[in-house]
Amino acid sequence: MIDGDAALSPNQADLLQEVLAGLAQPQKRLPGKLLWDETGSDLFDRICSSGDYYPTRTEMALLPSVSAEIAPLIGPGATIVEFGSGASRKIRTLLDALDRPARFIAIDISGDYLDAAIRRLARDYPQIEMIPVCADYSEPVRLPVDLSGGPVLGFFPGTSIGNFTPAEAELFLERARATLGPSRFLIGADPNRDADRLSRAYGDADGLMPALHRNLLERLNREFDADFDLDNFRHEPRILPDPFRVEAHLVAREPGRYRLAGTEIRFGAGESIHTDNSHKYAPDTFRRLAERAGWRPERVWLDRAGLFSLHLFAA
């Protein structure tokens, strides 16, 4: 049983206050970083293999040729720093293409998932130093090593940059520049605005996407002694303009009253919790955003269907 903040670590106490503040807003919201415990990371890994979720499949098809093109620009002995490394599958394409990379630094908020991924990579790449960093990359990240001794490549694949609002994305890019120092940065961004394709990708009829978002409430029940009735909440993706994005919501089917760390949270029928964003950036729009954060655009690659882009920037 949780008795206020006394039973919580400082990080848990901060997270609880962020959760309570979000649930007190007129539009209730939860921080998206709550998605990424071990269960959430595993669910998303399975989503990436589903037929309707196009971003991962499209990026993986684009990445080998992009990696081959950037390898001469990066040069030998590089340190690669991945933000939100997850299962660390895409990084293999980069590690295979680059010239004798020296170090791989993986940043992820899910410590258990991160450690397991690093152990798998270390077995397959014994010549590369593997450094896991368990951290929230939406905040400033201080790395445990000095990056000044050779070339540095930051890597932020997938559509994770779209989880931030544009202002938050710009702030993240500024902080990443401070973390990486003189470097290059390879970033994925999703320019797709096909409403039908987006509805299928984020609605996910096989149940994985709803399970990913309901896992937020499961975490609150498990970690903060809440009593949310998961069956009362359905997952609903909403496609919205200006800026163009997909919002994920958990919508209450019936009115309900729930307890979270001694606080009552009330829901009316149809009231929702906003759980995540996926902003869609046209290449020119994303380049301008990165420039405002101090990055110089070097190259952009776009698949033939216009579903995914990879951007290379320099600090």
DSSP-derived letter for residue 160 is G
Asked if residue 7 has pLDDT above 70, the reply is no
**Model confidence over 200-255: pLDDT tens digits?**
999 987 899 999 999 999 999 999 999 999 999 999 999 999 999 999 999 999 99
Q: Can you give the pLDDT at residue 88? A: 78
How do beta strands 79-83 and 103-108 pair? parallel
**Model confidence over 164-204: pLDDT tens digits?**
999 999 999 999 999 999 999 999 999 999 999 999 999 98
- Between CA 24 and CA 16 the distance in angstroms is 12
- Between CA 109 and CA 107 the distance in angstroms is 7
Q: Can you give the pLDDT at residue 5? A: 34
Q: Can you give the pLDDT at residue 10? A: 53
Q: Where are the domains of the chain?
A: 10-30+195-279, 56-192+282-314
Region for residue 55 given its phi and psi (left: phi exceeds 0; alpha: psi -120 to 50; beta: otherwise): alpha
Q: Can you give the pLDDT at residue 57? A: 94
CATH (residue range 56-192+282-314): 3.40.50.150
Q: Can you give the pLDDT at residue 9? A: 54
The answer for residues whose C-beta is within 8 angstroms of residue 217's C-beta and 6 or more apart is 226, 228, 230, 233, 250
Q: Can you give the pLDDT at residue 150? A: 94
Does the N-terminal peptide bond of residue 243 adopt cis geometry, omega within 30 degrees of 0?
yes
Residues 119-142 have a mean pLDDT of 95
Round the CA-based radius of gyration of the chain to a whole number and report it. 20
Question: Would you state the structure tokens that stand for residue 33, as one six-digit string?
Answer: 């970083």
**Model confidence over 40-90: pLDDT tens digits?**
989 998 999 888 999 999 999 999 999 999 999 999 999 999 999 877 789
**Model confidence over 246-301: pLDDT tens digits?**
999 999 999 999 999 999 999 999 999 999 999 999 999 999 999 999 999 999 99
